[in-house]
Chains A and B, each alone.
Chain A
Amino acid sequence: MIDHETIGLLLKGINNVTWQSIVMLGVSFVLMYLAIVKDYEPLLLLPIAAGCMLANLPLSPLIADDGMLKLLYNLGVTNELYPLLVFVGIGALTDFGPLLENPRLILIGAAGQFGIFLTLILALLIGFTPNEAASIGIIGAIDGPTSIYVSGLLAPHMLGPITVAAYSYMSLVPIILPPIMKLLTTQKERQIHMAYSSRKISARTRIMFPIVVTVLVGTLVPFATPLIGMLMLGNLMKESGAVERLTKASAAEIANTVTLFLGLAIGSTMVGTDFLKPSTLAILVLGIIAFAVDAGAGILFAKVLNWISGGKVNPLVGAAGISAFPMAARVVQRVAQEEDFENFLLMHAMGANAAGQVASVVAGGVVLALMGAGG
């Protein structure tokens, strides 16, 4: 009755445990710890961790051909559906008012994309192919959906590590950003107050903004049309106030559902045997360099603006020029208030942050255009 074969079948799970899968289970536990105990972007990290755990259990049926995680992956990651749907939600949540009140902040958002290109060069030097290097650089957009979108088109085989890097650095913004900000600014600069211009933005302008941006960016950078189009669609629905139910659904139900699917699908790409490679480590390191350079470039650019304007721009605002809306702006406000409790940079930082959001999408489109892919 009980022969070797039966015992083999009963112990199939244990026999198929590999060291890679054990390591990846450990990684998933760390991610869960970060999500649950440390509360870093739990909405994303927890599904990613769960997907990673489920995918790395021995012989996991979930990532077999018709497994659920595999299905979720094919449903929306390979064809860019998830990131675009998430962007509708982000658009519906983003308030571009602070940016409209202070349009020159939009240049800070442009400066905050410098890390993308510097990292691209670094990745090339290490030996990645141009496509891979561009995908790694896009981590510097510090914007999960953009990273997924671009790397999905340019280097689908590296989607897992790139997404993990992008999202984990996004969730680590409150930890990574302050030291960079403190290193690059003097105490005196951090204490610069910025006058709040309470310029009233009419509803008409607020509605015009997403339309103008979509048409302009879509015409000039067709590769960015999907991303900017969805982002601005969400914003248009929000600002028009005409489709409150759709806005609510995009910002809450759809975004939440897609985030769950996305997290699980991304987590499931972190299968030990593919994931534990030197290139993953290189991606993670390059990603954090991209992040740091982005923030640094934003701060330095804000310093230039400060110099031009005669001491009216607090360089800390430049750090919000990376994407990661709205965490980066909150971090800026917190650091500024640590220095001087009467200093309220939040609205300026939010403006720069919203600009960074638009700029990272534009940068993603530009990268795709220069690589001649996508569309």
Chain B
Amino acid sequence: MENLAWGLQMTVLGMGLVFALLALLWALLMLVLYLDKEPKPPMSAHESHAEAERIAAVADDAIGAQVPEPPTVNGMPADLVAAILVATMKHKLTLRRQAAPIMRTYWPGSQLFASRWVAAGRARQNYTWQPRGR
């Protein structure tokens, strides 16, 4: 039972100390937080309302005056169209450089389209090989 009494004493003392220490820490923390707070002048509700109105008024002006409607092409933002165009063109050029098969709008041998190379070859077929004047 002596042990129990000692244990109880430990509990009360221990918990008391832990709480007291942490409460002290709390107080100190609050002090640090208080000291470190950015100085902010107190403002009455009326003043803050006026301030808000002022900012809102400036914002209203700004919306009306300075920010034009973003330019659009057929209802799509112009910069977006430009981005898409540049990207597609770049992509097409890339593919052409890679000679990707998908770049063939017309299959080889098509009568609808001929590359310069093919066109030159076809044109040569139309020339006679016999010397002129014979």
Are chains A and B touching directly in their complex (CB below 8 angstroms)?
yes
Q: Which residues of A contact B (CB under 8 A)?
A: 100, 103-104, 106-107, 109-111, 113-114, 116-118, 120-121, 124-125, 130, 133-134, 201-202, 204-205, 208-209, 212-213, 216-217, 220-221, 355, 358-359, 362-363, 366-367, 369-370
- Asked whether A216 lies within 8 Å of B10 as measured between CB atoms, the reply is no
Question: Is B22 a contact of A121 with CB atoms below 8 Å?
Answer: no
Q: For the complex, what is the distance from the CA of A121 to the CA of B3, rounded to whole Å?
A: 8
Identify which of B3, B14, B24, B26 contacts A124 (C-beta below 8 A): B3
Decide yes or no whether B129 CB sits under 8 A from chain A. Answer: no
Bound-state CA distance A104–B24 (Å) is 11
In this assembly, does B57 line the interface, its C-beta being within 8 Å of a C-beta of chain A? no
CA distance A109 to B15 in the complex (A): 11
Q: Mark B1-37, 1 if CB is under 8 A from A, else 0.
A: 0011011101101110111011111101110110010
**Contact in complex: B21, A120 (CB < 8 Å):** no
In the complex, chain A residues whose CB is within 8 Å of the CB of B15:
110, 113-114, 117
Q: Is the CB of A130 within 8 A of B28?
A: no
In the complex, how many residues of chain B place their beta carbon closer than 8 angstroms to a beta carbon of chain A? Answer: 26
Complex CA–CA separation, A130 to B3 (angstroms)? 8
A125 to B8, CA, bound (A): 11
Contacts of B14 in A (CB 8 A): 116-117, 363, 366-367, 370
The reply to whether A124 and B29 form a contact with Cβ atoms under 8 Å apart is: no
Closest residue on chain A to residue B33 by CB atoms: A205
Q: Which residues of B contact A (CB under 8 A)?
A: 3-4, 6-8, 10-11, 13-15, 17-19, 21-26, 28-30, 32-33, 36, 38
Q: By DSSP majority rule, is chain B's interface helix, strand, loop, or mixed?
A: helix
- How long is the Cα–Cα vector from A290 to B11 in the complex, in angstroms? 13
Q: With A and B bound together, what is the CA distance between A212 and B26 in angstroms?
A: 11
**CB <8 Å contact, B25 and A106:** yes
User: Which B residues lie within 8 Å of A111 (CB)?
Assistant: 19
Residues of B within 8 A of A355 (CB): 22
Point out which of A110, A208, A370 has the most chain B C-beta atoms below 10 A from its C-beta.
Answer: A110
Q: How far is the CA of A277 from the CA of B15 in the complex (A)?
A: 31
Q: Which of A114, A121, A359, A363 touches B8 (beta carbons < 8 Å)?
A: A121
Chain A residues whose C-beta falls within 8 Å of the C-beta of B11 in the assembled complex: 117-118, 120-121
Contacts of B26 in A (CB 8 A): 103-104, 106-107
A125 to B28, CA, bound (A): 38
5 new A-B contacts at CB < 8 Å, known A110-B21, A363-B18, A366-B21:
A116-B14, A121-B4, A130-B3, A212-B28, A355-B22
Measured between alpha carbons, how far is A124 from B6 in the docked complex, in Å? 9
Q: Which residue of chain A has the shortest Cβ distance to B36 in the bound complex?
A: A205
Cβ–Cβ < 8 Å partners of A133 in chain B: 7
* A–B complex contacts, Cβ < 8 Å, 21 sampled: A100-B29, A100-B33, A103-B26, A106-B29, A107-B19, A110-B18, A110-B21, A117-B7, A117-B14, A121-B10, A121-B11, A124-B4, A125-B7, A130-B3, A212-B29, A217-B21, A220-B21, A220-B24, A355-B22, A359-B22, A363-B14
